[in-house]
Amino acid sequence: MSEQPTFDAIAVGFELPALVKHPTTRQLVQYAGASGDFYEIHYDQDFARAQSLPGVIIHGALKSAWVAQVVTDWMGLAGSLQAFSVRYRDTDVPGDTLTCTATVVGKDDALGIVHCEIALTNGAGDVTTTGDATVQLPRS
């Protein structure tokens, strides 16, 4: 874990360290068990194809956990995630390489809060998930 970021040291345009994920079908089953989401489109290939999907797809909530992780791994123990949102623009599949990113797009001096845009990009370069996050950081 890197050192604690502070509100004063972070400028608009700052890019948080990206996370690269290599999801596997095993991980989808692991997430299904840990989250209690046993919808078959995430582990049953025949079921998924019968739903007009290319095969099993990654849980949206798992993708949201990953983009949140970009922020929570960076903000340190003194940072606080106040809000975040994600929109799934397309499905993602295991076997792909997914890159999760976040960029600081605004700062609220009165509240000590930074606003970030977050995204998940697949191996073909398509942004399949977008969102935003609001983080409170210590002043110094």
Partner 1 sequence: MPILTPAMQSAVGTSGEEQTHFVERGAIQRFAEAIGEANPAYPDVAPPTFLRSLGRAIPPLPDSDAVPRVLDGGSGWTYGPPVTPGDAITIQTTLESLKEREGKLGAMLIADYTTTYVNQREEMVATQTNTVIRMAASA
Mark residue 64 as left, alpha or beta (left: phi above 0; alpha: psi -120 to 50; beta: remaining).
Answer: alpha
Beta bridge partners of 119: 101, 130
Q: Identify which of residues 60 and 112 has a Cβ nearer to partner 1 in the complex.
A: 60
Q: Is 59 in the site for partner 1 (CB under 8 A)?
A: yes
User: Minimum distance from CB of 82 to partner 1 (Å)?
Assistant: 6
Q: How far apart are CA 1 and CA 80, in angstroms?
A: 16
Q: Is 97 in the site for partner 1 (CB under 8 A)?
A: no
Q: Which two tokens stand for residue 97?
A: 């390489």
Q: Identify which of residues 6 and 13 has a Cβ nearer to partner 1 in the complex.
A: 6
Among the listed residues 18, 38, 87, 123, the single contact to partner 1 using CB under 8 A: 87
Among the listed residues 4, 6, 69, 99, the single contact to partner 1 using CB under 8 A: 69
Do residues 120 and 66 make contact, with C-beta atoms less than 8 angstroms apart? Answer: yes
User: Minimum distance from CB of 38 to partner 1 (Å)?
Assistant: 12
Interface residues for partner 1 in 8-37 (CB under 8 A)? 21, 27, 30-31, 33-37
| Chain contacts with partner 1 (rule: CB under 8 A) | 1, 21, 27, 30-31, 33-37, 39, 50-52, 59-62, 64-66, 68-69, 72-73, 77, 80-88, 91, 131
